[in-house]
Structures are given as C-alpha cells and as structure tokens.
C-alpha cells in the first residue's frame, strides 16, 4: 500500500476521535457549560446531523475541484471546527462548532475513498478503503480513550486542543504525500449526479448501509448498561471490554476489505449474514460473562467487516457517475443508521421488551438489508439478461 494511503488514514483517525470522544466527556462538558447530560448528549446528535447534511452539499460544491485540494480544504474545516470547540464559551457556540466540524466528515471519507481506490491496482480497491478506515478503528481503540482521559484530567477543552493539533498534522501529511490529480476531475452537473443517485441500485446500496449500521448501534449505544445490568459485570470492566470491541473493529475492517477484493457480492452477503447471526445469538450470550465478552468482540468484527464491501458496492452501482457524491452519501448513510439504531434501541428499552432484548431487535435491521441485497442481485441479473438479449 502506498504511503499516500496512510496520509488518508491519519485524517480518518482525527475525524474518528472528534466524532466519538465527546461520549466520554458529556459530564465534564455539562458541568462546565451548565447544561444537563441530555442536552450535552445532543452534541452527538448535532454532529451526526452535520455529517448527513454536509456530505451531499460539500461534495456537490467541490465536485470540480482537484481531489487533493478538496481533501486539504476539508482538513482545514475540520481543524478550524475543533479549534472553535476548544474556544467555545457557551453551549450554543459549542454546538455550532460541532456542526462545522461535522461538515467535513462525510465528504472526506467519500472523496478519500475515491482517492484511495485510485492509488492501487483494481484488485486492491476494497483493501485500500479498509486501510483508510483503519484510522477510524484506531481512533476508537486508542484515540477516544486517550482523549477522554486527557479531558477528564486537564479539562474537556484540552482534548479539542489536542485534536486540533492532529488536524494540523493530518493536513501536513496529506499535503506532502497525496499526489496531485493526474487529470482534472470531469465537470459534472450536481443535478445529474443527484439523478444518478436516485437510481434504484444506488438507493438499495445506501439502504443496505443504513440498515446494517442501525443494527449495530441499536446495541452498541447501550453496551455499557447491557454489560453491567444484564451480564452483571462491574462498571470498571466496561472500558477494557470496549478494547475487545475495538480489536474486533480492526480485524473485521481488514478482513472485510480482503473478502470484497476477492468477491464483492459474496463479501456483502457474507458480512451482513455474519452480523445478523451475531446479533441474534448475542441475546443468549449476554447471560454468561465470558460469552458476553466474546460477542462484544464479534460484534465489532462483524460490524466493520461490512464497511468496505458496502462502500465499494455503492461506488460500483454509481457506475462512474457522481462517484464522490455516492461515496459521501454512503458515509452519511452510516451515520443515519447510527441515529436510527440508537433511537430504536431506546424504544426497545423504554417501551418494548427491555434492555436484554436489544440485540434480537437489532438483528431485524441487517436481516432486512439481506433482503434488499437479494433484490439488488435480482435486478443485476435481469439487467444482464436484457443486455445479452439485446
């Protein structure tokens, strides 16, 4: 893998830390800015909203820019947003700063995915995307715990100062290592791009992503109370167990990329099936401490094993038209799935069968995604048959 790919990984690491580190600092932020924990929690929802809105808008604005220029501009937005977070004197300005930071998220991963696939041979495209997304997984394993500790020891603003520095470093390595575009990006009409995104194969691919990650976050959002209240583990054991989840993320991400390089269809179906089975069996595993820990790792592995296959799937269905937009929209789809999953998990706990049954309810989402995959494959077969007949 070329060094330029690891420059993209550095940017992904910084973005991953920014997105998730706030979860460990909600109490500190709430106390400092005199807002409730629930209000502080909206900083997470606000970021997700910024990703969903920013992905299509910024991708459309920058679609005629050289991709390296676009990546550098996005890292500048990211760095400025984190600097604004560190300096924000009020809750409202912190929310605005979080929204600003989030605007860069979807387009960075979308354009970065296109750049990553252009850096390697055709049979290594999924693995290249997986390497870039490794930055996101490492952020969860190392960056988020380190950022949380830093914020708790020296104040939450210190964490955002640190992430600002990460942004500057990522900007520098992207500037130094990512090559300039060999050819100028083809001029495209955003209306035509949106029309291409409305094609059924692309819509089905995006829906598969939303459903897959809705299943993941319907459980993972509430993993701490699940482990303590259902499994009977101590509060102190949750953080080490989340390291098991992070290890699963890294393993699943790399394996999913290699599988997708070999056979994209089999990888998409296989990883979604593995996620469905993991969620279904996790309901029973939660009542045994060892089994629960094993399944936390399996959840991480099967969750991120779907990332590269689903990202490449959407890129292929876009068929060259608006690929950057398609890739960015798929990142937005991951975040939309996160929000939907957390919402459904909350309903399951408050108005449904309860905390212990969140995994089996979550299983429904990737199961539906598999059904959409079958429909997409049937459409491909019908299209191929019509082509042969013609």
**Alpha-carbon torsion, ordered 122, 123, 125, 131, to 10 deg:** -140
pLDDT(169) > 80: yes
Q: 333 is written with which tokens?
A: 């789809």
- Burial code (b: 16+ CB inside 10 Å, e: under 16) for 288-303 equals eeeebbebbbbbbbbb
The pLDDT assigned to 31 comes to 87
Residue 390 in this model has a pLDDT that exceeds 70:
no
pLDDT at residue 336 greater than cutoff 60:
yes
| Assigned architecture for domain 1-185 | Up-down Bundle (1.20)
Task: Report whether pLDDT(69) > 60.
Answer: yes
Residue 262 class from Cβ within 10 Å (0-12 exposed, 13-18 middle, 19+ buried)?
Answer: exposed
Confidence of residue 112 (pLDDT cuts 50, 70, 90): confident
Q: pLDDT: is 140 or 355 the higher one?
A: 355
pLDDT (0 to 100) of residue 297: 94
Report the range of poorest mean pLDDT among 161-165, 215-219, 348-352.
348-352
d(CA 88, CA 100): 12
Q: 3.90.1150.10, 2.40.30.10, 1.10.3720.10, 1.20.1250.20: which CATH number matches 188-390?
A: 1.20.1250.20
Q: What is the pLDDT of residue 164?
A: 95
Least trusted range by pLDDT, from 3-12, 53-62, 193-202, 266-275: 193-202
When mean pLDDT is compared across 142-151, 204-213, 295-304, the lowest value belongs to 142-151
pLDDT band at 374 (very low <50, low <70, confident <90, very high): very high
Q: Give pLDDT, residue 197.
A: 76
From 270, 237, 8, select the one nearest 113 (Cα to Cα): 8
Give the phi and the psi of residue 379 in degrees, each rounded to 5: -60, -40
pLDDT at residue 322 in the model: 66
Task: Specify the pTM.
Answer: 0.77
Place of tokens 């932020």: 29
- Residue intervals in the chain for CATH 1.20.1250.20: 1-185, 188-390
The pLDDT assigned to 331 comes to 82
Asked if the model's pLDDT at residue 238 lies above 80, the reply is no
| Mean pLDDT across 62-76 | 88
In this predicted structure, which of 47-56, 61-70, 314-323, 348-357 has the lowest mean pLDDT? 314-323
Q: How far is CA 90 from the centre of its chain?
A: 28
Taking only the tens place, the pLDDT of each residue in 80-99 is 999 999 999 999 999 999 99
């Amino acid at each position: 893998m070329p060094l330029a790919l690891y420059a993209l990984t550095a940017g992904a690491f910084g973005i991953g830390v920014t997105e998730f580190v706030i979860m460990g600092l909600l109490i500190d932020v709430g106390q400092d800015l005199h807002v409730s924990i629930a209000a502080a929690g909206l900083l997470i929802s606000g970021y997700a909203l910024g990703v969903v809105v920013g992905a299509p808008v910024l991708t459309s604005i920058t679609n005629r820019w050289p991709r390296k220029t676009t990546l550098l501009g996005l890292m500048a937005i990211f760095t400025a947003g984190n600097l604004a977070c560190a300096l924000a004197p009020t809750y409202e300005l912190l929310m605005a700063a979080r929204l600003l930071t989030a605007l860069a998220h979807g387009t960075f991963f979308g354009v970065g995915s296109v750049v990553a696939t252009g850096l390697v041979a055709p049979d290594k495209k999924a693995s290249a995307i997986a390497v870039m997304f490794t930055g996101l997984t490492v952020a969860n394993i190392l960056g988020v715990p380190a950022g949380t500790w830093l914020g708790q020891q020296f104040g939450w603003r210190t964490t955002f100062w640190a992430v600002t520095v990460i942004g500057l470093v990522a900007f520098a390595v992207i500037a130094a290592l990512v090559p300039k575009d060999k050819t100028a990006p083809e001029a495209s009409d955003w209306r035509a791009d949106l029309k291409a995104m409305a094609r059924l194969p692309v819509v089905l691919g995006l829906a598969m992503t939303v459903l897959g990650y809705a299943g993941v976050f319907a459980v993972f959002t509430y993993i701490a109370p699940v482990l303590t209240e259902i499994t009977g583990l101590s509060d102190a054991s949750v953080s080490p167990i989340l390291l098991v989840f992070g290890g699963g993320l890294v393993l699943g991400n790399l394996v999913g990329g290699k599988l997708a390089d070999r056979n994209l269809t089999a990888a998409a179906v296989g990883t979604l099936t593995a996620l469905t089975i993991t969620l279904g069996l996790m309901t029973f595993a939660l009542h045994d401490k060892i089994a629960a820990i094993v399944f936390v790792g399996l959840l991480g592995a099967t969750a991120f094993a779907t990332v590269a296959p689903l990202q490449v799937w959407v890129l292929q269905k876009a068929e060259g038209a608006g690929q950057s937009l398609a890739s960015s929209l798929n990142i937005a789809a991951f975040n939309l799935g996160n929000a939907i999953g957390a919402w459904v998990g909350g309903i399951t706990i408050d108005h449904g069968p309860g905390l212990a049954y969140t995994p089996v309810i979550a299983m429904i989402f990737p199961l539906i995604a598999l059904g959409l995959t079958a429909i997409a494959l049937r459409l491909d077969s019908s299209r191929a048959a019509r082509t042969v007949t013609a």
